[in-house]
Structure 1
Amino acid sequence: MNTVRLSDHDNVVTAIRPLAVGDEGATTLIPRGHKMATQAIAKGQPVRKYDQIIGYAHEDIPQGAHVHTHNLDFRNVDTEYEFGTNLRPVAPAAQKDSFMGFRRPSGRVGTRNYIAVITSVNCSATAARMIAQHFTPDRLAPYPNVDGVAAFVHGTGCGMAGDGEGFEALQRVMWGYARNPNVGGVLMAGLGCEMNQIDWLVEAFGLTPGPLFQTMNIQDVGGLRKTVELGIKKIEAMLPLVNEATRSECPASELMVALQCGGSDAWSGITANPALGHACDLLVAQGGTGVLAETPEIYGAEHLLTARAADRATGEKLVGLIRWWEDYTARNKGSMDNNPSPGNKKGGLTTILEKSLGAAAKGGTTPLTGVYKYAEPVTARGFTFMDSPGYDPASVTGQIASGCNLVAFTTGRGSAFGAKPSPSMKIATNSEMYARLSDDMDIDAGRILTGKASVEEVGREIYEMWLRMASGEATKSEAQGLGDYEFVPWQIGAVM
Structure 2
Amino acid sequence: MSKDYVQIDPRDNIIVAINPLEKGSVTQVSGKAVTLKEHIKQKHKFSLNDFSIGDEIYMYGVLIGKAIEEIPEGCAITINNVKHASAEFKEEKEKFTWVAPNVSNFTNRTFNGFLREDGKVGTANYWLVIPLTFCENRNVDVLEGALSEKLGYETKKDFAVDTDALISQYKSGASRATILNTPIITTKEEMSKNRTFPNVDGIKFLKHDGGCGGTREDAQMLCQLLAGYIANPNVAGATIFSLGCQNAQIAMLQEAIDKIAPNNTKPVHYLEQQQSASERALIEEAVKHTFLGLMEANKLERKPAPLSKLTLGLECGGSDGFSGISANPALGYASDLLVALGGSPVLAEFPELNGVEQELINRCNTEEDSKKFYDLMRAYSASAVAVGSGFENNPSPGNIKDGLITDAMKSAGAAKKGGTSPVVKVLDYTEQVTEPGLNLLCTPGNDVESTTGLVGSGCNIVVFTTGLGTPTGNPVAPVLKMSSNTNLYERMHDIIDINAGTVITGEDTIESMGEKILDHIIRVASGETPSKAVLHGNNDFIPWKRGVSL
Output the CA distance in 1 between the equivalents of 2:99 and 2:132: 42
Which of 314, 334, 352 pairs up with 2:389?
A: 334
Output the CA distance in 2 between the equivalents of 1:326 and 1:388: 13
Q: What is the deviation of 1:121? A: 1.2
Cα shift readout 1:154-206 (whole Å, capped 9, x = no counterpart) = 111111222x4x34321210110111110012111121111111122213432
Using the size of structure 2 for normalisation, the TM-score is 0.86
Matching residue's letter, 2:525: A
Q: What is the deviation of 1:488? A: 0.8
**Structure 1 position 428 matched with structure 2 position 483:** yes
Q: What is the deviation of 1:487? A: 1.0
Matching residue's letter, 1:114: Y
**Structure 1 position 145 matched with structure 2 position 199:** yes
Output the CA distance in 2 between the equivalents of 1:56 and 1:422: 40
Q: In structure 1, what is the equivalent of residue 163 of structure 2?
A: none
* CA distance 1:122–1:8, change in 2 (3 Å): same
Output the CA distance in 1 between the equivalents of 2:437 and 2:388: 36
**Structure 1 position 491 matched with structure 2 position 545:** yes
Cα shift readout 1:231-288 (whole Å, capped 9, x = no counterpart) = 2122111111110011111111000000000000111110000000010111111100
Output the CA distance in 1 between the equivalents of 2:547 and 2:444: 14
Q: In structure 2, what is the equivalent of residue 55 of structure 1?
A: 65
SS of residue paired to 2:417:
helix
SS of residue paired to 2:324:
coil
Q: In structure 2, what is the equivalent of residue 173 of structure 1?
A: 225
* CA distance 1:152–1:208, change in 2 (3 Å): farther
SS of residue paired to 1:265:
coil
Output the CA distance in 1 between the equivalents of 2:357 and 2:150: 49
Matching residue's letter, 1:103: L
Q: In structure 1, what is the equivalent of residue 93 of structure 2?
A: 83
Task: Work out whether residues 90 and 374 of structure 2, in 8 Å CA contact, stay in contact via their aligned partners in 1.
Answer: no
Q: What is the deviation of 1:471? A: 0.6
* CA distance 1:399–1:42, change in 2 (3 Å): same
Task: Work out whether residues 22 and 38 of structure 2, in 8 Å CA contact, stay in contact via their aligned partners in 1.
Answer: yes
Using the size of structure 1 for normalisation, the TM-score is 0.95
**Structure 1 position 96 matched with structure 2 position 152:** no
Q: In structure 1, what is the equivalent of residue 188 of structure 2?
A: none
Matching residue's letter, 2:40: I
SS of residue paired to 1:345:
helix
Which of 34, 38, 42 pairs up with 1:32?
A: 42
Cα shift readout 1:116-158 (whole Å, capped 9, x = no counterpart) = 0112111112211331343234424121000011101111111
Q: In structure 2, what is the equivalent of residue 271 of structure 1?
A: 326
Task: Work out whether residues 223 and 252 of structure 2, in 8 Å CA contact, stay in contact via their aligned partners in 1.
Answer: no
Which of 128, 131, 142 pairs up with 2:143?
A: 131
Cα shift readout 1:455-491 (whole Å, capped 9, x = no counterpart) = 11110011011111111121111112212xx111101
Matching residue's letter, 2:211: G
Q: In structure 1, what is the equivalent of residue 439 of structure 2?
A: 384
1:178-327 map, 5 Å: 178-206=230-258, 212-222=267-277, 224-327=279-382
SS of residue paired to 2:151:
helix
Output the CA distance in 2 between the equivalents of 1:223 and 1:488: 30
SS of residue paired to 2:50:
coil
* CA distance 1:241–1:226, change in 2 (3 Å): same
SS of residue paired to 1:449:
helix
Task: Work out whether residues 227 and 256 of structure 2, in 8 Å CA contact, stay in contact via their aligned partners in 1.
Answer: no
Q: Larger radius of gyration, structure 1 or 2?
A: 2
Q: What is the deviation of 1:229? A: 3.1
Output the CA distance in 2 between the equivalents of 1:100 and 1:83: 40
Q: What is the deviation of 1:335? A: 1.3
Q: What is the deviation of 1:82? A: 4.8
Output the CA distance in 1 between the equivalents of 2:220 and 2:251: 14
Aligned residues: CA RMSD: 1.9
**Structure 1 position 474 matched with structure 2 position 509:** no
Identity percentage over the alignment? 36
Task: Work out whether residues 486 and 502 of structure 2, in 8 Å CA contact, stay in contact via their aligned partners in 1.
Answer: yes
SS of residue paired to 2:346:
strand
Q: In structure 2, what is the equivalent of residue 2 of structure 1?
A: 4
Task: Work out whether residues 92 and 286 of structure 1, in 8 Å CA contact, stay in contact via their aligned partners in 2.
Answer: no
Task: Work out whether residues 321 and 402 of structure 2, in 8 Å CA contact, stay in contact via their aligned partners in 1.
Answer: yes
Query: Any gaps of 5 or more consecutive residues in structure 1?
Result: none
Q: In structure 2, what is the equivalent of residue 157 of structure 1?
A: 211
Matching residue's letter, 1:97: R
* CA distance 1:8–1:209, change in 2 (3 Å): closer
Q: What is the deviation of 1:13? A: 0.7
Q: In structure 1, what is the equivalent of residue 124 of structure 2?
A: 112
* CA distance 1:8–1:492, change in 2 (3 Å): closer
* CA distance 1:474–1:433, change in 2 (3 Å): same
Task: Work out whether residues 14 and 59 of structure 2, in 8 Å CA contact, stay in contact via their aligned partners in 1.
Answer: yes
Task: Work out whether residues 146 and 243 of structure 1, in 8 Å CA contact, stay in contact via their aligned partners in 2.
Answer: yes
1:387-406 map, 5 Å: 387-406=442-461
Task: Work out whether residues 63 and 85 of structure 2, in 8 Å CA contact, stay in contact via their aligned partners in 1.
Answer: no
* CA distance 1:89–1:117, change in 2 (3 Å): farther
Output the CA distance in 2 between the equivalents of 1:408 and 1:225: 41
SS of residue paired to 1:116:
strand
210-219 or 450-459, which deviates more: 210-219
